Amino acid sequence: MVETRDFPQSAILDLELTDDISAYALYNLISLLNNSYFDWLYFDLAEQSDSGTPFPDDWIPARDQELWISQLTIGTPNSLQLLGNPDALQYVHDLLSQIINHPIEVTSVAVGMMSGASATVLGMAKSYKTYWEGRKAQLEARMLERGARLEEKRKISPEMLSLKQRTPPVEHYISAAALIKWQKLKKPRR
């Protein structure tokens, strides 16, 4: 099991999840967490780079830069524990806070209707398509602007900017909103 003692500079983000979880909804959540974490980390490393050339498109994270699932508990309660770069996990935490901080009627419908079933996630995506697409665009705007600034400064390649502009589908955001118990979301700890 990967633990903080293996990576002293890491942090832990604990997520308490709802009681009913489908594999599809969990996949969407983990995919969103992974993409968000690595987009932030890639841009951060590119910003810090002084090489005079764009940060490598084929960068592969070192073991201590990885996002690790250090614990996944399916039972009562369901929970997910992530281990990784403290600043990247803080970004993931902040993104999740913004995703699950939306009008109460949408929260009630998402949590009330959603037993984590894939049909429910897809139904929510259709029913609230305009709302969620607008929300998704707001949440992604800062990261996309950061990427554009890095590409302008030639810190990342145009190809990598294009790749980073392909953002996760709206279903990933809906799954995050429905699966994470918003009352229990706490900041990462070191």
Between 114 and 176, the more confident residue is 176
pLDDT at residue 10 tops 80: yes
pTM here is: 0.85
For residues 42 and 27, what is the distance between their CA atoms, to the nearest angstrom?
22
Q: What confidence tens digit (pLDDT) does each residue in 124-163 have? A: 666 666 777 888 888 889 899 999 999 999 999 999 999 9
Q: What confidence tens digit (pLDDT) does each residue in 75-91 have? A: 888 999 999 999 999 99
Helix-helix angle 104-113:118-127, to 10 degrees: 150
Local structure of 22: helix, strand or coil? coil
Q: What are phi and psi of 16, to 5 degrees?
A: -90, 130
For residues 98 and 34, what is the distance between their CA atoms, to the nearest angstrom?
17
For residues 87 and 188, what is the distance between their CA atoms, to the nearest angstrom?
9
Mean pLDDT of the chain: 84
Answer yes or no: are the C-beta atoms of 177 and 67 closer than 8 Å. Answer: no
